[in-house]
Structure 1
């Protein structure tokens, strides 16, 4: 509205302009005292740059007032708004929050109003215009604050995206087993503090977001388009820091109900080993019981035995060759007895309890097996082969 506009008389504008350097100095001094986080920022070259920015801002305001601007700041203050935007981005880069900057603006507005209004009134500004002068000052400060806030937000968004891309690149290098020098350089570039160990976790992509909030903040996530696995396009890979030893149960609890597969903890630069093992468990179709995650540390025998299914099949055929001529029912009974015998180290009572038969039955069956195998049942190599061949009870 026109009644809200204010045009400073030439004499008033000139008087105010003459005071701008002094007002800028006083504004900076007040901010240093009242906003402690700026005490260091305003020293040396940086202090001079900020003081100059304050002068530009005050000069922009004076141009606005002299041109008859209202609460809508336009072209005359373009440079000041650009400076405020750059200031906001700089504050984000320095690690300061917008709270500190907004506090500085409030202090600056108060100091600038006190000195500018006093100068304007002394130079002849009418009392009836003082209120509109105040409105113009604080509306202008609001616009500077908004511009700085936008710069702060944009800088955080941009820097967050850059760092996220760097972390994703690091995660990709780690699971592909890149050279130590490469992963170390990538970690430093991403400003990521390396842990002692990393553990690879595979889980459905749909479970990743709510899982991440339960894990160490340094946890890395491999981007979907960079994971070299072929087990499922819907799996994502997390690399979780320092979950070895006593910390592992806490990780397993955090992953309950997430359909996760957990690799072993490895020195952080060797986490590709953990990833490869977890992926192998997925490809072999190993499953966990209930809601617990599949812990590969608890399934090492299966992973080892099923590393080469054809070799295991051939070994079973060799081990069970002496039983080939028996009837299927007799063969099955002797195979289960032989398996229980090696697993229980020949303890007849335990074998009988597992098979739900009388100990004399165990003795009879072992007699049959000794007739078929002969002295081979006393050979350590044969015992090892039988244990490996029948250890998973997959007949």
Structure 2
């Protein structure tokens, strides 16, 4: 059975053991840092220059604290380990802020423990200490390094958790500012605060909040997510996806399949609000069917003619006034025939094929329409007005 490492707080070494170690401490610190620099590449640059000198002093202080700890009188109630643990905790937080990984930090501790023990053990052997004392001393060194390591790991984890929460909040604030159409200088400052690298364009996606949570991990890591930002569309989330143009857009459409999504146009990132607004308008015109993806690029004509719905309604009333005397199914048939005739530029066979009727039926209905409209069906302005009025089926307007 493997016994746990001894508690470094409760152990004492006699002065004749500690004094040679204290004399050799500066050289031990130098050797420890040299080994960490060589064996842990992530630390090669930080140890260069003035910062390297500060770290050397910190290593020397940590080793000095250890010697003070194991050499203090047995009656001393002080806890010099506390300050060392606080320093190790702060080191872990600093490493996280510097972007270095926990792997690098733990590797540095392992190398440091090995080299420190090798150098300190060599001093003890040279001083003629017995094997039992040296073995005890080795156990204390590794127990001490374990405690420092655990404190640094805790500091690293706490810093990542804190900075992660702060960054998420900053990213949400950026998404909110983009959706609201804040001025460029506000958006650029928000992007810097969130440490977010702006893309060329952003594309808005509207979809249920529950779908946004499962989809976001499949998208560009810079994708921004915002829930509850659209009062008129409760339960709908906004995703702002970087640069999904060309083939990337078709890939995005495939990813969205099955999620009741509306896909907006790509816009320069500072004008992302334009993409959001268009997606909202299309969502209001065409609420996605179950599992469908509605691409705003497929509905540009409808967006144009429905931009001023009041004006469109007035235009319909004016353009369709000649049909006011027709009733019921007859009026509906004339209206669908007129719309098809306009869209097919008067090609009777094409109109008949679309409406699933005989060409002679189309001829009969158009004769009736000419009776009602007279020469206006030859007037370009009237043809234009009718085309716009009927560009969106009456049921959708």
Instruction: Say yes or no: TM over 0.5.
Output: yes
1:13 aligns with 2:14: no
Q: Secondary structure at the match of 2:218?
A: coil
How far apart are the structure 2 equivalents of 1:236 and 1:118? Answer: 64
Deviation track 1:152-190 (CA, whole Å, cap 9, x = no partner) reads: 112222222222222222211111111112212222332
1:291 counterpart residue number: 291
CA contact (8 A) 1:25 1:51 kept: yes
Deviation track 1:89-144 (CA, whole Å, cap 9, x = no partner) reads: 22222221121121111111111112222323444533223222221111111111
2:392 counterpart residue number: 392
How far apart are the structure 2 equivalents of 1:27 and 1:327? Answer: 96
1:279 counterpart residue number: 280
Q: Secondary structure at the match of 1:174?
A: helix
User: How far is the alpha carbon of 1:47 from its aligned partner?
Assistant: 0.8
User: How far is the alpha carbon of 1:391 from its aligned partner?
Assistant: 2.3
2:366 counterpart residue number: 366
For normalisation by structure 1, the TM-score amounts to: 0.91
1:129 aligns with 2:133: yes
Matches within 5 A, 1:110-121: 110-121=114-125
How far apart are the structure 2 equivalents of 1:382 and 1:106? Answer: 85
User: How far is the alpha carbon of 1:9 from its aligned partner?
Assistant: 1.0
User: How far is the alpha carbon of 1:338 from its aligned partner?
Assistant: 0.9
CA distance 1:327–1:235, shift in 2 (3 Å)? closer
CA contact (8 A) 1:12 1:124 kept: no
How far apart are the structure 1 equivalents of 2:17 and 2:329? Answer: 112
How far apart are the structure 2 equivalents of 1:338 and 1:76? Answer: 93
Q: Secondary structure at the match of 1:217?
A: coil
1:155 aligns with 2:159: yes
1:212 aligns with 2:219: no
Among 177, 181, 190, which residue is 1:173 paired with?
177
User: How far is the alpha carbon of 1:17 from its aligned partner?
Assistant: 1.4
What stretches of structure 1 of length at least 5 have no aligned partner?
none
CA distance 1:280–1:304, shift in 2 (3 Å)? same
1:245 counterpart residue number: 246
CA contact (8 A) 2:260 2:290 kept: no
Q: Secondary structure at the match of 1:201?
A: strand
CA distance 1:356–1:36, shift in 2 (3 Å)? closer
1:201 aligns with 2:205: yes
Q: Secondary structure at the match of 1:151?
A: helix
Number of residues of Structure 1 aligned to a counterpart in Structure 2: 386
How far apart are the structure 1 equivalents of 2:318 and 2:240? Answer: 42
How far apart are the structure 1 equivalents of 2:356 and 2:256? Answer: 38
1:310 counterpart residue number: 310
CA contact (8 A) 2:323 2:372 kept: yes
What stretches of structure 2 of length at least 5 have no aligned partner?
none
Q: Secondary structure at the match of 2:239?
A: strand
1:82 counterpart residue number: 86
Q: Secondary structure at the match of 2:207?
A: strand
CA contact (8 A) 1:257 1:293 kept: yes
CA contact (8 A) 1:6 1:129 kept: no
2:237 counterpart residue number: 236
User: How far is the alpha carbon of 1:289 from its aligned partner?
Assistant: 5.4
How far apart are the structure 2 equivalents of 1:331 and 1:295? Answer: 33
How far apart are the structure 1 equivalents of 2:327 and 2:87? Answer: 92
CA distance 1:94–1:366, shift in 2 (3 Å)? same
How far apart are the structure 2 equivalents of 1:57 and 1:313? Answer: 81
Moved over 6 A (4+): none
How far apart are the structure 2 equivalents of 1:121 and 1:334? Answer: 108
Deviates more, 1:382-391 or 1:50-59: 382-391
For normalisation by structure 2, the TM-score amounts to: 0.91
CA contact (8 A) 1:231 1:283 kept: no
Among 66, 69, 73, which residue is 1:64 paired with?
69
Q: Secondary structure at the match of 1:213?
A: helix
CA contact (8 A) 2:84 2:148 kept: yes
CA contact (8 A) 2:261 2:288 kept: no
How far apart are the structure 2 equivalents of 1:107 and 1:326? Answer: 93
Deviates more, 1:346-355 or 1:188-197: 188-197
CA contact (8 A) 2:288 2:294 kept: yes
Deviates more, 1:46-55 or 1:242-251: 242-251
1:260 aligns with 2:261: yes
CA contact (8 A) 2:208 2:235 kept: yes
How far apart are the structure 1 equivalents of 2:321 and 2:234? Answer: 42
